Amino acid sequence: MKTSIIICAFNEEKFVANVVRACCKLNPETEVIVVDDGSTDRTAEILYDLSTSFSFRYERLNENMGKSFAMAHGAEKSNNDIILFFDADVSNIRENHFKDLLNPILEGKADMVLGQPSETLIHKKINPFRSLTGERALLKKDIIPILDKLRDQRFGVESFLNHHYKVKGKSIQHVMLEGLKHPTKFEKTTPFRATKEFIAEGYEILLTQMGIAN
């Protein structure tokens, strides 16, 4: 089975180049799709420059539609059996990270694999948010039927996917991505804006959880 790596980016001018570069370099035979979710910074310019040196598919959304819409768009455009979602703001990406995420699916041991970056604000052994990771691998055939629902989840998309897989009785495996770093919002922007984004994302996740409970 072949893999499509999908990177969804919104205003990630500081990080996106390194992520795309690593995904392409470490997976030269793999389809890489970058969905620009209506960025208003230099993300589009950076991706255009990268396209002259690396082979990837660039999908530009005219306006910011939200993380889940971008993920669904990338999945719909992908051509392979396995989809590997990768955040656009991680760093220290290594070849073994891709193997750790993909091998359980290739070996038939899991239907979805969730990868937890080891370098996070909360210690990896007690992180209560590990299931909300953006690094995850799954079979395309399992999410194509739910793309319409997926589009509307925004930052509740991880909770939605996790719940869907559990309800369907599918196996989920967690793997530690040693060395992979995910920055906090306070490392990426001002304290005021970081707090505002935390509240907005938390609200969207809560709405998803309430919908699941009902």
Question: What is the rounded (10 degree) CA torsion for 38, 43, 44, 47?
Answer: -130
What whole-number percentage of the chain has pLDDT above 70?
Answer: 79
pLDDT > 50? residue 137: yes
pLDDT given at position 67? 93
pLDDT > 50? residue 126: no
Q: How far apart are the first and last CA of the chain?
A: 37
pLDDT > 90? residue 195: no
Q: Does domain 3-183 have CATH number 3.90.550.10?
A: yes
Helices (H), 27-139: 43-50, 67-77, 95-106
pLDDT given at position 192? 47
DSSP count for the chain of H helices, then E strands: 9, 7
Question: Whole-number mean pLDDT of the chain?
Answer: 86
In 88-147, DSSP assigns E strands to 112-119, 135-139
* Segment 87-107 mean pLDDT: 96
Query: Residue 61: which H helix or E strand, with range?
Result: strand 57-61
pLDDT given at position 53? 95
d(CA 168, CA 156): 18
Boundaries of every domain in the chain: 3-183
Asked whether the beta carbons of 3 and 101 are under 8 A apart, the reply is no
